[in-house]
Amino acid sequence: MLTGGCLCGAIRYRAAGSPEFQGLCHCRDCQKLSGGGHVGFICFPKEAVTIEGEVLVHHGKGGSGRPADRLYCPSCLSPLFGTSELMPGKINIYAGSLDDLGQFRPQIAIFTRSRQPWDDGSRFLKCFETIPSAS
């Protein structure tokens, strides 16, 4: 069971079962979202994640250029989750929102074509220039 939430505590979540995969996304959208070189994410089926509290949804496009949503706390604006047209029925929990960051174990890195030269956190992971099905 993974648990986490936002900075102010208004949003809490639980994710049951094992994640499908965990990784780092280096797309420009995630760089802007994080204010750094990447976002750590943990992918679960949507039905495995229980969210307590109302989230703010921003509809936009992901690193692939296809529709994607980012979900935030409406009070403190902490980024918590992402969903994408590319991955129907899945939700990506942003690793920085976990209660125990030690539970984050990235296996892959995606959109490494946008990886910044100073961000070498994914050097030991299986890397994909875009997403696995498109690389």
Residue extents of the structural domains in the chain:
2-127
| Residue corresponding to tokens 């990784």 | 23
**CATH architecture, range 2-127:** Alpha-Beta Complex (3.90)
Sign, CA torsion 24/30/36/42: negative
Whether the per-residue pLDDT at 111 is higher than 60: the answer is yes
Separation of alpha carbons 43 and 64, rounded Å = 17
Contacts of 102 (CB under 8 A, 6+ apart): none
Residue 132's pLDDT is what?
83
The three-state secondary structure class of 107 is coil
Q: For 38-96, write each residue's pLDDT tens digit.
A: 999 999 999 999 999 999 999 998 877 889 999 999 999 999 999 998 889 999 999 99
Whether the per-residue pLDDT at 134 is higher than 80: the answer is no
Supply the pTM of this predicted model.
0.92
Show the tokens assigned to 26: 């280096």
